[in-house]
A and B are shown apart, each in its own frame.
Chain A
Amino acid sequence: MSYRITGSTGEWEIVVGLEVHAQVVSEAKLFSGASAEYGGEPNTHVSLVDAGFPGMLPVLNQECVAQAVRTGLGLEAEINLFSRFDRKNYFYADLPTGYQISQFAHPIIGKGKVLVDLADGSTREIGVTRLHLEQDAGKSIHDQDPTRSFIDLNRAGVALMEIVSEPDIRSPEEAGAYLRKLRQILRYIGTCDGNMEEGSMRADVNVSVRKPGETEYRTRCEIKNVNSIRFVMMAIEVEAQRQIEVWEAGGTVDQETRLFDHVRSETRSLRSKEDAHDYRYFPDPDLLPLVIEQSWVDELKAALPELPEAKRARLEAEYGVSRYESSVLCVEQAIADFYETVARGADARLAANWMLGDFFAALNRTGRSIEDSPVSAEGLRELLGLISNSTINGKIAKEVLEDMVETGDSASAIVERKGLRQVTDTGAIESAIRDILAANTDKVEEYKSGKDKLFGFFVGQTMKAMKGKGNPALVNETLKKLLSE
C-alpha cells in the first residue's frame, strides 16, 4: 500500500532523498595526523594543518580511503578508480581554512543501492547516487558567553562520508528503514559506528510532494542536520504537510534550506536572502587526483565481512529461520554470531524461537546488550539441549532461564539444584493420573459423554500435581489411554 497524505484537494505522494553524513572510523583525521577520536579537551585533537596555519598542507589518510571503498562495496556501488578533491569555499568560524575539502565533481563512489524491509513484509530498493569523502568542521559553542561564540576545532578535519540517496523514498517509514539499513551496513563493515547521539551519523533530508501519477518532481526543500531516525521521520511528515498546504493554498514552494524543530514539530526556513551561497568549487591544488588500483579494491573486497543481506540468506538456508527471524537476528553482527553459536549443536529452529522470545525479553528486562548478555551463547545452547533431550520441558526451561539470568549458574546445575528433571517414568505418570481421575469422577463422566474440552483440564491437573515436571507427550499419551479405559 502506497503512503499517501490526504489534503483538501485529494491525495499527495511524498518524494524524499537523504544525504547522510557518516563519520569514518579511523585513528587520525582525513588530511592530518591529529586524533579523530570523539571528545577530548577543547582544541587538543588539532594539528596546525587542521587549524589552517600558513603553509600547512593536507596529506590524505589511506585508511579513510579504504573505509570509503569498503562502504561502497557494501552498497554494491561503482568504485571510481579516479576521484578528486575539490575545495568548497565559504567563511565560517569553525572552518579554519575558509574552505572544506570535499569531492564535488569526481566522488570516489558512484551508484549503488540499499535494500530495505518494510513492516508489511515487502522489500524496496533505494538507489544510492554517490558517496564521497570530505572534512568535518569544528564546533561553535554559543551558550557559554552572552556576546561571543567559542570555537573548538577538535572535529575539524575528521573524515566524513557523505552518502547521497536517489529521491526514491516515498514514506517516512521507508526513510527510517533506509537509515536503519544503512547504519546496519556501516556497522557491519566497521566504517562508521552509527552513533547518532555523538553526531557520527547525521542526515540532510530533501522533501518534495506531488500528486500521484505526476512524473516530474516539484520543488524540494532541504532539512539540514537531523540527528535521529525518529526526527527524520517526523520532519518528513511535517514538512510534507507544510508543502501540501502551500500548494493547496495556491502558493509555490521555494527551494530553500530549513531546520527541524522537534519540540514544536515544525520546520523553519534558514534562508537569508542576501547571503546566497556560491561555493566556488575547484580542484584542490594541494592534493593530487586520487588514483586507486583495482587490485587493491579486490583485496578490500575479499576481506569484507559477510554483509547483512548475505547473512540473512545464509541463515535462512542453513538454519531454516524465517525471513522475519533472519531480519531480527541480523540487526547486529553480534546477535547473528550469538545465534549461530547457539544454533550450532542445538535445534536451530528452537534456538531462533528462544532468541526472539524469552532471551530478548530477558535482555530487555535486565537492560543488557548482546555484548554483555547475562547468559552466554554456550549457556543458552546447553539449556536448549536439555529441552531437546527431554531432560526438562519448555515450561520448566523458562524458569531455568530466569534463574540463569539471576544467578549466572548453568542450566544443568539449576535443574539439578531445583530437581527440575522431567519425569519420564510412565509408572509415576500413570499413578499421578489415576489419582487425578479418581478425585474427579464427575468430570471423567462428562468427558466420556462427549465434552472433549475437559482433556486440557486433566493435563493441567496432572502437570500441577507433578510440579510441572511431567513429560508433556507422555502425560498426553497416558491420559488418553486411561480415559478411554
Chain B
Amino acid sequence: MRQLWRDFREGFIDQTPPFFAAMGLCPALAVTSAVVYGFSMGMAVLAVLLGSNIVVSLIRRWVPAEVRIPVYTVIIATLVTVVDLVLAGTVPAIHRTLGLFIPLIVVNCIILGRAEAFASKHGVTRSIADAFGYALGYTWALLLISAVREILGSGTILGLRVMPAGFVAWKIMLTPPGAFLAMGTIVSVINVIRNRSRSRSAAVKRAQPDTAVPEVA
C-alpha cells in the first residue's frame, strides 16, 4: 500500500508535468483558455494513460525489446482513437474545441514516457497507481493554468461570474500570448515557493550541524 502511494505521489506531486517535468507542454498552453477544457483534457489523458499503462504492463514479458517502441505507439494510437470517438459521440462541443489536441495525445511524451519508464518494468497494480499519479498531477496543473486564464480573461470560473461587476476582463489571457505569459508566470511563482522552502530547510540544517562526519582540517 505504501509502495502504491509512493508511485502515485511521484507523478502527482514530485514530478508533476508540465511544471516539474517538461512533458505535455503543447496541450497545457493550447486548451487551457477555460477550466472546463483543461479538465476535459486531463480526463482524456487519464483514460489513455490508464489504458496504455495497463496494456503495456500486461504484455511486458512478450514484447521483444527491439520493437517495443512501435508496439507501444500502436497501443497508444488505438486508445486515443477510442477516446476520440467516445468524446465526439458524448460531448461534441468540447470535442470540437479540443480539436487537434485529442489526436495529438498520441505524441504526448507523458504517455510514451510512462510506458517506457514504468509500465514496461512493473506489475499492473503499480502501473495503475503510476497512471493515476501522473494523469491527475497533469490534471491539477491544467486546472491551475486554465483557472488563472479563465478568471483573468473572462472573469468567470466554469462559466460562473466570480470577479466583481466592475472588473474589465483581460482579453489577452484568452489569446496565444496570454497562454505563454500565464504559464511563464505560474512556473516562476512555483519556483519562488520551491526555492524559499529549499533555503528554509537548508537553514534548519545549518542550525543543527551534522557531526556524524567530522570536518577534516
Determine if chain A interacts with chain B: no
